[in-house]
A and B are shown apart, each in its own frame.
Chain A
Amino acid sequence: MEQQLVNGLALGSMYALVALGYALVLGVLRRLNLAHGEVFMLGAFVGAAALVAGLPLPLALLGAAVGAALLGLIVERLCFRPAPPDQELTPAISSVALGLVMVDLAIKQWGSEPYSLSGGLSGPAFSLGTVQVSQTQLLIVGLALGLAFALDRTVHATAFGRRMRAVAESSINASLVGIDTRRVVMVTFAVSGALAGIAGLLLVLRTGVASPTVGLGFGIKALAVMAIGGLGNLRGCVLAGLLVGLLEAMSLQVGLSSYSDLVVWAVLVGILVFRPGGLFGSAEHGLR
């Protein structure tokens, strides 16, 4: 049981990182970026390719973050910027299409078979009784919580964060007071992509495999995490991510392995029935 807590926290941390990216864009623009899962997938491939090229892990993580940030900017430029402000559906549909293009491009570049790193996964870093914590699990939880904290502080305690929240509140008013809203939006997409890229490489480190189709399943799960936490609610994303990770791990422990996905979606439906704003409340006026 205790081991499953560790497993669930590590899994949930990765969900949280991806969910934060969804929440950022939704919070600032009030639009869904449905290519985010594929940015996560390509970040995984970029990071894995960096490792294959012999780069050390810190540079591979940086490469995944920068590569995915650039992809985030491309998504913004192609799917979101051309859409009129009153159009919410068009960018979402456009981003779905761009996501599918990304999947096909990944297959063309890396093949349809999974990209497998040779060698095994990292062994246990330390043991507490029967509970073993691997080095990768430590890295995942530490990095995810650290990045989430940094993002939270940036949004709530910096001048740029104030500009982000101002754009989230009203982009027209923000531009009237001299805020470069386009720049804010671009940075939002870049940060969102960077988070996804780092999460992608962390998943590769955790599983030893990058797959062109991982973005769909993992991305949708992270979308659910964001909804459970509260739309646009950054802290809610983190807590919901951990909750979903723990739910999945615990459902296995009690013999509900075949229903682990069902459990997550049933919880989502149940929460939205009783708390339409998510567990921790949606950000009604943008980012929170």
Chain B
Amino acid sequence: MNFDSIAYFSGIEIDKIVDVKAGTFVNVSDTILRQPDPIFFSGLNVFSIPHGFSRPVFTDALIRTPDLGGTPWLSPGNNTLNFITYSTSTHVCIAMVSNLNINIQYRVICSWITDYDTTNPLVPEFHPVDKSILFDSRVNYQKIASSGIVTGGNNFNPPHSINNPTNKLSNFKVFLEAFAGEVWVMNAGGQQNPFAIDFSQMEGEAVITSQSLEISTSNGLPSQRSWYKIYYDG
């Protein structure tokens, strides 16, 4: 069956959005400077929001500021108002590169990390305030062809290779445990990486081919993990 051409198939996993955090904060006065290595790294200004779950979640996010001529909503890793998100077992965090004292509006989408650990905790249903239908089997969701945890690797060079079952350049996402217990959006670049704050921080890059997803990591500890999702769509 050509799964990317069908709207819905109950045997294929889709992401579960478990919460959306929305609000505003003021960078730098509402954030905490995270700068474990002030000699080599300028640090990140971090705003933390309790997420209410018992373990980390995946994060997707948008931000904007009304203070710089009305910037559009921005994704992480952009070149205008750069930021990244990560999650701990208690909070989702927005880490800003900018030191400007500006208002930031945010939307952080929290999705479930399948099999993060063996606890399999109860998760409340999530109702966005403006949506009456949460799931519609007629519409086309991003369908997960393969997902999992990469363990025991903080220095995958050559890359850790994961089979790509779609045989095409599918969409994918990779998250990594940059620090123990913290699930970051994938990032890399060493001292060129705007999100690097310490030499002990695990970094990662990924590229997908029609045969495999190749994940390269560096630094960190062997106990630190990565998570990947390859979608049928793309």
Bound pair (A, B)? no
